[in-house]
Structure 1
């Protein structure tokens, strides 16, 4: 352990000062301890200390009044707050005024030293500045990543940007296919035109033609909306056959749809994307072979995130910056956390990584994302192994879990109240993930869940679901 780190300890209880001083001295830290807030403030103002550990109630001042002054003078100085007043309000107040960690008394000494190590392991100002600069630069780019698989994608995009050819983008769900399409549009000659998107997997089959071609009552449809620009057809493998026939006419120029604003047929570049095997769909009679050949003029295959793990650090930092700009707390991420992210399989690809980063920003108080935090979230979200006989439904997963639970019970069976316990286990992650998806917006979350807002608020309280606090 390096001895250049100095810890300032403030507590009016001499025994606690002694225990903490001895513990941190044994770990190789320099330690100064005081029994009042005035001395602590003096040390901080003189530039002493790399970490402050302080009780809330001091003989001369309450630390909740002192901490804002510390934050103003030394905004990068981490402060761990400890208190015997173990209430929710104490923890909330500590978080609101910028404490790195809140540790209730009586505390476990190992927990305290672990919190101190996390605080002192945060990136230095220069490291944080470099990472932020890289994230700022990356955020301005349509795609992020410097790995070998992405370099091949970039080379293909560069060759196709000015060609105005129809392009088919292949890749797993969440890999970033729409970002590739946007890059082709934004960097090409049609950049001043409209980039119009339709996700064919999300539109009811009976409404696909209306969405694409309009219905003649002022609703012009995506095709005319994209006139002069790009029409991006996401999940093209889900397009109904009737709509495929009409799309084929658009591509070969025989479609009769007229843009009423110009009196001409729309001039669009068609870019399609899919995570499905179109050749297999052709064999099943679900996709037109002639349309496939029209779309497959130029092809870009986007690698899954597990095949470009070297890009994860840059992606994670960019998502942290984006989350902060959208109102979530600013956070850094350490090397251990990045290594754990790189070791994960990412079945949901880049979208899953971004959602995980947002969730951590919303639900964790720590300024630094560590491997412990990442591990906890990945364990909570890891799906059960897939059933090779077919797709796994929620009902199947629940049944498997309950079957194992009953198998482990004695002959008398589970204790009473099983129904409510199972509902409780399902409700909590459902509400937590919905709040994460809506970035803490309870009105929107209630709408998605189909609940009254007051009902949702009560469930959040009863289930102990952590929520992101609105940024002031």
Structure 2
């Protein structure tokens, strides 16, 4: 049986069984999910009443996974050698050209998300530059991938640079090119899309250089002259650029140049209707990945829906994974949820009840299902005002539900 090389993106395998990946059968995602690039894994696969023993070599680069698969002979020896570093790099570079996410991966039906999704789709089809604004974890990178996949540039590279995670000296070399033979990000993304993540973290001197490249659509390289810039450029920021401009920490001209289209990605607390849809989606992903039938009780789901999710969708994904890995029971109850979620949901329920009761503590206690004394004790514990004054909450319109005195 010949060796198989499989170039995969996470969205193709996350939470799914891939029957086409292996010459002999399905490969569970859990087989390589926690593997290092130098660790070989083996497992038994059943197919047509025959048992096959195979070995995979997972090569992980960011969110991309390249899986090398080969059968094992009767003596348990693999039938090909471990690939060299150059082979790994070339496989990764080729597979990285494919878009990782599409608009179908953006889950939600709330009006704010639907509006952003449609505006992003239109901007992608027009080929316009876009500035994605939103809190950490809201899905700005996913949206950028989806816009690239929906554009006329989808067959060309999507190149991402995180301006916050790279030292300034290295960032300059990455973006604009370093020594001989080191291609810049603009050159790597030619005809495709360059996505500058966390652009608000870029130093002012590099902002000036970036503006000149975007303005002139030319990249000046020492010894090679000017290189035409043919890629689209998108960027994301996590704070209000107007404030940074006022503080002279961000160039106004760069803001105008990069933000031809500005898309404000809403935080999860502003689209509560999407929370159960996201929980259901990622819960099912975990169920399929781990091969376990685990269910959320109605009370546990109600608490997850009430939690304000300060870390947005990224936090939701982590919490779902934590729940699955911390418990092996069939039904998850409120007491099985992480303590931070229980505490956050309880505080949010108190604030909502106070808002709906217009600050009346007696009525708020009745709404939330606890005594007035217990309510005062909870308010003091959370540092909330004890006087009868109206409370403001980002989710004040939601109905308080559940009894938290036992949590």
| TM-score interval, normalised by the smaller of the two chains | 0.5 to 0.7
How far, CA to CA, are the matches of 1:170 and 1:176 in structure 2? 10
After TM superposition, the score normalised by the length of structure 1 is 0.48
CA contact (8 A) 1:165 1:298 kept: yes
After TM superposition, the score normalised by the length of structure 2 is 0.55
Match of 1:100 in 2: none
Give, in angstroms, the shift of residue 302 of structure 1.
0.8
Structure with greater strand percent: 2
Give, in angstroms, the shift of residue 326 of structure 1.
4.5
How far, CA to CA, are the matches of 2:178 and 2:268 in structure 1? 40
Q: Deviations over 1:180-211 (max 9, x none)?
A: 11111111111111111111111112321112
Of 136, 139, 145, 1:176 maps to 139
How far, CA to CA, are the matches of 2:185 and 2:290 in structure 1? 32
Question: Given the superposition, is the C-alpha separation of residues 235 and 139 from structure 1 closer, same or farther in structure 2, using an over 3 Å criterion?
Answer: closer
Question: Given the superposition, is the C-alpha separation of residues 336 and 232 from structure 1 closer, same or farther in structure 2, using an over 3 Å criterion?
Answer: same
1:311 corresponds to 2:274: yes
CA contact (8 A) 1:199 1:235 kept: yes
In structure 2, stretches of 5+ residues that fail to align are 1-100, 348-407
Match of 2:214 in 1: 251
1:275 corresponds to 2:238: yes
Structure with greater helix percent: 1
CA contact (8 A) 1:139 1:318 kept: no
Greater relative CO (CA pairs within 8 A, separation 6+)? 2
Give, in angstroms, the shift of residue 308 of structure 1.
0.8
RMSD: 3.0
Question: Given the superposition, is the C-alpha separation of residues 309 and 265 from structure 1 closer, same or farther in structure 2, using an over 3 Å criterion?
Answer: same
CA contact (8 A) 1:166 1:270 kept: yes
Q: Deviations over 1:217-263 (max 9, x none)?
A: 333132222111111111111001121112112222343347x99x9
Q: Deviations over 1:414-438 (max 9, x none)?
A: xxxxxxxxxxxxxxxxxxxxxxxxx
Match of 1:231 in 2: 194
Of 162, 180, 193, 2:156 maps to 193
Question: Given the superposition, is the C-alpha separation of residues 335 and 189 from structure 1 closer, same or farther in structure 2, using an over 3 Å criterion?
Answer: farther
Of 342, 351, 355, 2:314 maps to 351
Question: Given the superposition, is the C-alpha separation of residues 224 and 332 from structure 1 closer, same or farther in structure 2, using an over 3 Å criterion?
Answer: farther
Q: Deviations over 1:249-301 (max 9, x none)?
A: 2222343347x99x952311111111112111112211111000001110111
In structure 1, stretches of 5+ residues that fail to align are 1-137, 385-472
CA contact (8 A) 2:160 2:197 kept: yes
1:240 corresponds to 2:203: yes
1:13-412 to structure 2, matched below 5 A, reads: 141-257=104-220, 264-327=227-290, 329-374=292-337, 376=339, 378-379=341-342
